[in-house]
Structure 1
């Protein structure tokens, strides 16, 4: 009892807890809202990734067809597995097309790796979001902690993606410029950090609730032991008095 109470008080001193979520909801309600929001967001992202994987084979087949058509236009032919020979056309144009299609193949392979890796990670994060919802509803600390670990990993990957995306002009142009891109990314990262802090505060609340329940149970057990000891002491006194009276004289009863 003493060690659990000491650990609970130590967590209050070392970590600043949030009392409310957005100054309106309590921590349990805020955790449920975060879980529902993250489930919806990760489900939408997973659907987009699955659609991309579904059209991936079509994209690769179109690339292979374009390469074959270009080879026909340039007069290239491959006979019995020997070296490709150029019959007619410009060597510069052929080399340029080869470099372009080699770059397209490299981009396609990177896209395949990105789509499959992102799908696996998004699926794992979706399961962790479901675990967060279950833990918030049932007050299960272990399920909520699982989401916190996944969210920290997701935050690290998000920061890495933001720094990488800042180096691509078309990404910045899609958001309307560097200022809007950095402001939007900073706002999203701060909101995600706030969500992690709120869920962490809810975990500490569950832990302190368990400390209080364990302390109450221990106090009730101590009170029951004290009452039993008093009852046993009273019964011993009663039996001793009865024994004394049974062996006493008549004047003692008077």
Structure 2
């Protein structure tokens, strides 16, 4: 009992009591879910558009490679759905090396885009589940988003750190200082949203435990009353049986 009380006090100390000092945790969770659904729906649309354009680029690259092979009299070798053009056994010209490099880069880009699309779709479904759990006040529908957020924190930080080493990305934000400030701001915002949702999950669990304990207490009282009633009825039946089989002196 003492351990349970101590655990409840610890969970109350670790969780938030409100969201942005103006909304309840439930309202804040609904706002976070709606924001995440909107954001990742837009990201998913962008990824699908990029996949479409990359498919067209691959088609153009394939046509250019075939035209170059026909002009130079190379022959085409198919190996595991990858096409290489050879003269003898060695890729000889600089143009062919450029084609091979472009083909490798396009293949890596396709893999990254497909992986990102799958991950974005999974996270979008977790956000929809979070919205449903917040509206219906069901803890089990909010746990997938919590798990997905825990998994995504490390790749998110790694992407920010790696982005600092690419000048093209840094120049978009106007320099390293602005880039780092935006990265820190986004990370703190994400952590605060994660903390708010976890606090609401803890609050939901505590409310469910309190309702279960209240139901158990009411059930225990009911069983105790039934036990008293049954005991009283048994005593009454025994007394009536004794009186019915007794002699006249028992009534005096």
1:166 aligns with 2:168: no
Distance 1:143 1:7, change over 3 A: farther
**CA contact 1:32–1:136 (8 Å) conserved in 2:** yes
Name 1:127's counterpart in structure 2.
125
Q: 2:7 aligns with which of 6, 10, 18?
A: 10
SS of aligned partner of 1:111: helix
Using the size of structure 1 for normalisation, the TM-score is: 0.80
Name 2:81's counterpart in structure 1.
none
Distance 1:55 1:120, change over 3 A: same
**CA contact 1:20–1:26 (8 Å) conserved in 2:** yes
1:175 aligns with 2:179: no
Name 1:88's counterpart in structure 2.
none
Alpha-carbon offset, residue 11 of structure 1: 5.0
Alpha-carbon offset, residue 183 of structure 1: 0.7
**CA contact 2:75–2:87 (8 Å) conserved in 1:** no
5 Å-filtered alignment, 1:102-121, equals 102-121=100-119
Number of residue pairs matched by the alignment: 237
1:149 aligns with 2:147: yes
Name 2:213's counterpart in structure 1.
215
Name 1:41's counterpart in structure 2.
39
Alpha-carbon offset, residue 231 of structure 1: 2.9
5 Å-filtered alignment, 1:234-249, equals 234-235=232-233
Name the CA distance, whole Å, in 1 between partners of 2:219 and 2:119: 48
Alpha-carbon offset, residue 9 of structure 1: 4.5
Name the CA distance, whole Å, in 2 between partners of 1:64 and 1:8: 68
SS of aligned partner of 1:19: coil
Name the CA distance, whole Å, in 2 between partners of 1:32 and 1:11: 25
**Please, what is the CA RMSD of the aligned residues?**
3.1
Using the size of structure 2 for normalisation, the TM-score is: 0.81
Name the CA distance, whole Å, in 1 between partners of 2:44 and 2:5: 39
Distance 1:175 1:235, change over 3 A: same
Name the CA distance, whole Å, in 2 between partners of 1:203 and 1:104: 48
**CA contact 1:8–1:211 (8 Å) conserved in 2:** no
Alpha-carbon offset, residue 68 of structure 1: 6.2
Alpha-carbon offset, residue 80 of structure 1: 5.8
Alpha-carbon offset, residue 235 of structure 1: 3.9
Alpha-carbon offset, residue 54 of structure 1: 0.9
Distance 1:245 1:78, change over 3 A: same
